[in-house]
Each structure stands twice: as C-alpha cells, then as structure tokens.
Structure 1
Amino acid sequence: MSASVFDAFTLPSGHTLKNRLVKAAMEENMAAPGQLPGDDLFNLYDQWAAGETGLLITGNVMVDRLAMTGPGGVALERDTPLAPFKEWVAVAHGKGASIWMQINHPGRQVFRRMGGRNLAPSAVGLDLGKHSSLFDVPKAMSEEEIEDVIQRFADTAVQAQNAGFDGVEIHAAHGYLLAQFLSPLSNKRSDRWGDSLENRARLLREVVIRIRAAVRPGFAVAVKLNSADFQRGGFELSDAREVLASLEGLGVDLVELSGGSYESPAMQGRTADGRTLAREAYFLEFAQALTDASTIPLMVTGGVRRLSVAQEVLNSGVALVGMATALAQTPDLPRQWSTDAEASGEILQVRWKDKTLSGLANMAMVRRQLRRMGDGLPPARRLSAILSVVLDQYRLAKLTRSYRKALGLDQ
C-alpha cells in the first residue's frame, strides 16, 4: 500500500518531514536591501508554514551577489550576515515546517540590464528569437572560475546550515548554470567539463561532493534536475537517467524532477519541441521512467493542484509531491485537503502565442500574488495578465537601478 500525502517521510540523512507535500521554489524577488531576507519574505513563508505544507523550499538564493537571476533576489555568500536568515528559519520552524534553501547560479541567464557576472560553459547565448537581446552572450568559464563556483556552492550550503536551515537544494534545472553544463546545446566544451555526458555532469557531481563534505551528516542535500530540456537536441530523459544514477552514493537525499528553461518553459506547462505535457503533474510520466534508475527518493513538481493527483504521484513510487503556483494562489491548500478531499488549487496561466511573453506574464502574476501575501493580504481571486506584466516590469526596473547602484555597476 502506498503512502498517504499526510504520512511523514524520513530522508536518507535522517531528517523527518511531517508530510509528503512540499512548497517547491518560486522566485519571489522580494529581498530586503542588501539582498537579504526581510519582513516581506517572513510574512510570505509564515502563510505557507501555517498552511500545513511539510517542507518549504525557498526561491533562488544565489551563491554570488554579482550573478543574479533578477533584482530583489537573495544572495548568501561566505561573509553574509546570518541574522536575517535565522529569522527566516524561525518562521518555518515556528509552525512545524521544515525549510531548505534552494541555492543557485544563473550562468548565462542574467538579464543584460542587471549587469554583473555572465558566465557559462561556452560562449553560447540564449535563443529567445526576437527577445534574445534581453541577454548578453556569456563568457566561457575558465578552470579558475569553475573552481570558484564549486566553492561558492559549498560556502553557501555551510552558511545555510549555520543559519539553521534543514537542508539545501542544488538547482541544476531550468537552464541555470549547472543545467547549462548538462545540456549539449549550451555546453560545447571539449575538456573534462564537456563533450560526453559524464564530463558534462562533472560540475554537478563536484558541487554535491564538496557540499556533502562540508556539512554535517544530518543536513539534507537535494538536487533539482530536469527530466528533459524539451528542446530538440538538448538534455533528454535518457540523460536524466544516467545523471541520476551517477548521483548514487554521493549522499543525495532527494532529486526533484522538473523540466524546461527560459527557452522552453516546460515548468509552466509549455514546450519548445512540440511535446504535450499532462494537464497536472507535468513530469510524472518522466519520473515513472526514472524510479528504477537510482535508490535516491524522487520528488515531482509541476501543475499539481488536486489531492487525487498528489496521491497519484505517490502511488507511482515517487516519494514527495512538489507544488508551486497552486500555493501562490491557495497558500493553505494542504490544510484544506486535510478536511476536504475535493478542494482544488488554482493556477492562473496565460497562453499567448509568444511563449517568452507568456512566461513573463505567468511569472509576473505569481510574483504579484506573493507580494500580496508578503504585505499580509490574501491572494487575489483574479488578476489581469497585462497589468501584472506592466507593474512587474516597472518594479523590476526600479529594483535593477537600486541593485546596480548598490554594487557600483554603473561607475
């Protein structure tokens, strides 16, 4: 008999989650000055913790303050003060939730207007058609820069542990730096970091090894991995199987399966290669094909909004159910499910013909809901996609100016 979504789950490292439901990462862009967590994030995570989600995974926390996915993001480096991060942890623990920090480096997915470090395995720019100019062509990384990134991931993990987080999730999906090394479309190297899949996966493995060696045994270390890039010639399911198997024995507690990138936003239910995803639990079919590839527990995220679908995920052999956008609209959905099995979350979504603009609109609406919760308000029942984009772009432009000024990037 398979587990219920409300059953506890003990990770290989020994930490026990109170249920099988996880608030997966969403990029909030709600940091306080100094790229630190503040009251807005504390209010937001208080709502999720009160909603009875067992594990909260933060939005992107960047390992380099000069390499950000967007303004208003949080960064945690070796010398960053920990007091606000400890308060972030206290919010989750105060209501019985576990909390992991998602740690990330954007690689080439740094908006041109942001400035800072734009690094990648190879000097291959993003292909977003007429929107490609939003990003610069990145610099191919040197050996020294690769080593610096590995150590930054380890430093951030240790800082997260020192702040009281229960674990970290290494982001190796959605087209960010570690995923760029994994994909043959963005990694054109011919050295030990490129060419074969074994070499392309080397950076991810080295990051895992360095982190696991630096943190205590009971501290959880997870990986977020694409089941596929959903781009022709890109990272495929067979690659994911091989990478998953290569993580065996490295002390990984969980692999979260997702998919897509800025070029192919499969994590929003849309692909660039024409493949059709399920209406809910987008990547469950892919996870089912990977359950025998490794003994590492798996988690599936993407489109889950009903209890019956969450239970279907567990029935398939997957250990944990990740939810993101549904919790931006209904932050207490797990608590509702405990008394009403028919309760359903809602996922606000636009499907304009221009996939890049659709992706921006979907993220803008999610961030607008998160900001409402950060202000202590409930999510809005309906939002205008166009107004959300306008408000979001205005806010991000203002935050970008502040970011560049604070780091001296305009001098």
Structure 2
Amino acid sequence: MTSTPELNTELRLKRGAPIKNRLAKSAMSEQLGNGEHNPDQRLFRLYRTWAEGGIGLAMTGNVMIDRNALGEPKNVVLDEQSDFDAFRQWASEGQVNATRLWMQINHPGKQIPRFLSREPVAPSAIPLGRGLEKLFATPRELADTEIRDIISRFAFAAGKAKETGFSGVQIHGAHGYLVSQFLSPRHNKRTDEWGGSPENRRRFVLEVYQAIRDTVGPDFPVGIKLNSADFMKDGFSEEESMDVVRALSEAGIDLIEISGGTYEAPAMTGFKAKASNEREAYFLDYADAVRRHTDVPLMVTGGFRSGSAMQQALESGATDLVGLARPLAVDPALPQSLLKDAGAKLAIKRPTTGLRNLDKALMLDITYYESHLARHANGRKPKPGLSPWITVASTFGAMGLNAFKPRRA
C-alpha cells in the first residue's frame, strides 16, 4: 500500500490475494435466484460483466443462510440443500480479469415480509415501526438454542463459500437485518447474555465471526458490512458502532464496509444521510472518526459518483476501498472509465414516473436498479437512460400484485 493510493493502486489485506485496484462493488439484491434458490446463468453472466468491467472486488448480493428465512422471494440461499456446483460456476465467472468475488451472507431476522413469513424471528418480539408493522409480522423472540443454530449456519455458509471458490465472505451486519437487530438497543431488549449491555448486544456478531473463522481457517478473508448508525434516536449509535469496530478489529476482521440505516430509516439510499460537505459519499465523516480506532482496511459505500471525489477520499485516508452500487448497476464498465480518467463521473437522477404514489408503491428506488441488473444478466447492453416505465411494466409482469409488497432496501 502506498502512502498516497490512487484508484488503480493494489490493496493487500492481512489475508487472501491482493485486490488489484481500489474500486469495489457493494452488495445489491439481484433477485435472480432460481426456483431452488441457486445461482444460474443469469448471475454467472451478471458477475462476469462486472468483472470484465474492471472492478477490483465484488460483493455478491445477500446470500441467505437459511431457506426458511428469506428476505425476498428470489434470494439465493447457501445451505445443505444448495447446488454447490452452481456456486462454483458463479465464483469462477465472477473472478475473470483478476477480480476478487466475496460472498455476502445474511439472515433477515424480522425483516421478512408477511407474505413470506407470518412468524419471523428476532432477538426480541418487537415489531418494526413507522408503519412497517403492517407489512412485516411481529417476530418471535429467539431461544438460546436457535441463536446458536443460526451462528452455525453462518459458519456453514462461509465454509461452503470458501470450498466453492469465492475469495472471501462478508457478514451483513447492517441495514436492520438480524446481526444489526442484535446490535440495536431499539430492537434487542433481551436480559440474557445476548442483550442488555452493549457488550452483550455485540456478543452475537463476535460469535458469528469466530464461528466463521474457526470454519474457514486462518488464511481466508472475512469482512463485515456495518452500520455507522441506525439514524434513529433509540437505535444503534455512532459511539456504539465504533466500539463494535474496535472489538471486531481485535478479533481479527479483515475488512469493514461502512454503511448506515435500516428499513425504518433507509440512510443507505440517501434518506437522512447527507454527503460529507463536498465529498459526495454519505459516511466519510464517520470513516474519518473511526479510522482513529482501527487499522483494519475500510470500505465506504453510498453517494460516490465522480472519480475526483473517490480519489480525494483515498488520499484523505478515510477509506481504502471505494464502494459502488447503483453506478455499477447503470454502467458495469464504469471502473474502466475511472481507471483511464480520474475525472470521469456518472450522474444518476432519482428515478420517477412522475406519480409519487406509484413510485412509492413499487419502491422504484430499488426496482429501477434491479431492472438494470436484469438487463445485464440477460446479456443486453447497458442503457443508462432506461425509462422508469420499463421498470413498472417488468415489475408487474414478473410479480403481479406482489409488486406492491415490501422489498429490500
């Protein structure tokens, strides 16, 4: 690592192969699992497209560790019933052009729509708020034995990710999913060893990390996507987030991706989160602060649109990797442009049909970008100016009335 890294500077982590540049694809929910929740040709093609586009590191969309706990109908699942050969091909196709492909592994906890589960599980029997309680059922509190079973499922999925050829794994500890729920004082009201004090609330994520480490061995990279904050008064705070960063750093985590928000306050989509002055990205101020507490490489995701802002963030030391999501959904070859011309940028306007209620009902902020992913997965050329009405038509065609049911943020 040089003292003044550039976008094309290699990054070496404590473990695993080096990452060829500082551009990383952050996880996006592809909704491209097949009927058995395995990856197929569409995901193979999509990730090969990103790899050929020049990205250094790619994170998969959240792969669920339990097919009985899906966040969305078409999630990919990695458990005992999975087709491991399909995962091997996914890993192979996604790592052409010296790209590293990590699998993001996840459990949704209570963030399971009612039409998928009438009784989801969570640290405590507390429903989602801010109107979401109508769309998501009140969860059942997990028993201690169930918590330990979930930890073992994280470890199993990580072991299979390594076995099938992925370059690393990332624990999804952000955006209000199960790990995030354990960390949050708003959602974790337990009085046993898994709740109460901040130390007890972070026990779950530390146990997940240790179980994964014990399974994959000492040389396989393990990272985490972690909230800087929940952006709710009684939720997970920046101060607690920094304490978790310190604890995970001491435990040996290899990469920390910084994001923020939950379904109740979706800062990861720009809601409530603001760019750091003129730095574009939403969470750089937090990254500046957390850098004083860890020497683990950081990845900041959310808001980056121009090569100049990305370069500035690297030079400032706030981040080691630039996380990109929506820009890569629109233009998979953006890394090539950025590496050739640091002044390159991609302007993205918020998609709208002009009908606010329709936009909200279809969650156009999410489904619009899924439409782009589907184009790439089906071998079609990128179309940055894709009409939002194409998304409306394709969403209704694929999901019918389910189009109006809640989706991942």
Q: Is TM > 0.5 for Structure 1 vs Structure 2? A: yes
1:360 matched to 2:387? The reply is no
Assess if the C-alpha contact under 8 Å between 2:65 and 2:107 holds in 1. Answer: yes
Q: What pairs with 1:91-106 in structure 2 (closer than 5 Å)?
A: 91-106=93-108
**Residues 371-390 of structure 1: pairs in structure 2 closer than 5 A:** 371-385=374-388, 388-389=391-392
Note if 1:303 corresponds to 2:303: yes
Counterpart mapping for 1:37-48 below 5 A: 37-48=39-50
What is aligned with 1:290?
290
Work out the CA distance in 2 between the residues paired with 1:393 and 1:185.
Answer: 35
TM-fit CA distance, 1:356: 9.6
What is the 5 A alignment of 1:262-341? 262-271=263-272, 276-278=274-276, 280-317=280-317, 318-341=319-342
Instruction: State the alpha-carbon separation in 1 of the partners of residues 166 and 400 from structure 2.
Output: 31
Deviation (angstroms), 1:294 = 1.5
- 1:375: how far off? 0.8
CA distance in 2, matches of 1:162, 1:230: 37
SS in 2 for 1:327: helix
Instruction: Indicate if the aligned counterparts of 2:53 and 2:334 stay in contact, CA closer than 8 A.
Output: yes
Q: Which residue of 2 aligns with 1:57?
A: 59
Q: 1:207 to 1:176 in 2, by over 3 A?
A: same
Distance 1:347 1:245, change over 3 A: same
Greater alpha carbon shift after TM alignment, 168-177 vs 119-128: 119-128
Between the aligned partners of 1:42 and 1:14, the Cα distance in structure 2 is 23
In the alignment of these two chains, the number of paired residues is 396
- Structure 2 Cα separation of the partners of residues 191 and 149 of structure 1: 17
Q: CA deviation at 1:251?
A: 2.2
Counterparts of 2:193 and 2:4, CA distance in 1: 42
2:292 partner SS: coil
Residue 358 of structure 1, CA deviation: 8.0
1:155 shift after superposition: 0.2
- Cα distance, 1:388 vs structure 2: 2.4
1:15 aligned onto 2:14: no
Tell me if structure 2 keeps the 8 A contact 1:348–1:365.
no
What whole-Å deviation, never above 9, does each CA across 1:356-389 have from its counterpart, x for those lacking one?
A: 9289211100100000111111232324446525
Which structure 2 residues correspond to residues 173-322 of structure 1 after superposition, within 5 A? 173-271=174-272, 276-278=274-276, 280-317=280-317, 318-322=319-323
Equivalent-residue separation in structure 1 for 2:97 and 2:119 (angstroms): 38
1:229/1:235 contact within 8 Å kept = yes
Cα contact 1:71–1:396 (8 A) shared by 2: no
SS at match of 1:344: coil
Q: Which amino acid aligns with 1:375?
A: N
Shift in alpha-carbon separation, 1:14–1:34, aligned structure 2, 3 A: closer
With 232-241 and 113-122 compared, the bigger mean Cα shift is at 113-122
SS at match of 1:9: coil
Deviation at 1:92, TM superposition (A): 2.1
Q: Structure 1 pair 353/190, CA: closer, same or farther in 2 (3 Å)?
A: farther
Whether the 8 Å contact between 1:29 and 1:70 is mirrored in structure 2 is: yes
Deviations 1:222-244 (A, max 9, x none): 01100011111211111111010
Partner SS for 2:226? strand
In the alignment, structure 2 segments of 5+ residues that lack a partner are 404-409
Query: 1:5 — aligned with what?
Result: 7
Shift of 1:175: 0.4
CA contact (8 A) 2:362 2:392 kept: no
Q: Using the TM superposition, give the Cα deviation of residue 397 of structure 1 relative to its aligned residue in structure 2, in angstroms.
A: 5.3
Q: CA deviation at 1:322?
A: 0.7
Residue 111 of structure 2: aligned partner = 109
* CA distance in 2: counterparts of 1:105 and 1:355, whole angstroms: 29
Relative distance call for 1:333 and 1:387 in structure 2 (3 A) is closer
Q: Which residue of 2 aligns with 1:395?
A: 398
Q: Secondary structure at the match of 2:344?
A: coil
Structure 2 length-normalised TM:
0.92
| In 2, Cα distance between equivalents of 1:218 and 1:392 | 42
- Shift in Å at residue 132 of structure 1? 3.1
> 1:173–1:179: 8 Å Cα contact kept in structure 2?
yes
Q: Please tell me whether the aligned partners of residues 350 and 358 of structure 1 are also in contact (alpha carbons under 8 angstroms).
A: no
Q: Please, which moves more after superposition, 216-225 or 346-355?
A: 346-355
Asked if the contact 2:274–2:282 (Cα under 8 Å) also holds between the matched residues in 1, the reply is no
CA displacement, residues 263-304 of structure 1 (integer Å, 9 cap, x when unaligned): 111111112xxx644472111111111001122111100111
Q: Does 1:147 align with 2:151?
A: no
The answer to whether the 8 Å contact 1:71/1:399 transfers is no
Q: Is the 8 A contact 2:188 2:201 kept in 1?
A: yes
- Distance verdict in 2 for CA 1:182–1:386, change over 3 Å: farther
**AA in 2 matched with 1:339:** K
Q: Please give the alpha-carbon distance, in whole angstroms, between the structure 2 residues aligned to 1:43 and 1:49.
A: 10
Matched residue of 2:186: which SS? coil
- Flag as ranges the 4+ runs of structure 1 deviating above 4 A: 350-356, 397-400
| Aligned counterparts of 1:239 and 1:359: Cα–Cα separation in 2 | 34
Label 1:101 to 1:158 Cα distance change in 2 as closer, same or farther (>3 A). Answer: same
Q: Is the 8 A contact 1:173 1:259 kept in 2?
A: yes
8 Å CA contact retained: 1:268, 1:359: no
User: Counterparts of 1:107 and 1:256 in 2: how far apart (Å)?
Assistant: 21
Query: Could you tell me whether the CA contact under 8 Å between 1:24 and 1:57 is conserved in 2?
Result: yes
Equivalent position SS for 2:256: strand
Change over 3 Å in CA distance of 1:258–1:75 after alignment to 2: same
Is the CA contact (8 Å cut-off) linking 2:31 and 2:75 kept in structure 1?
yes
Q: Contact 2:223–2:255 (CA<8 Å) still a contact in 1? A: yes
Residue type at the aligned position of 2:332: P
Letter in 1 for 2:191: S
Structure 1 length as normaliser, TM-score?
Answer: 0.91
Q: Give distance in 2, aligned partners of 1:353 and 1:296.
A: 42
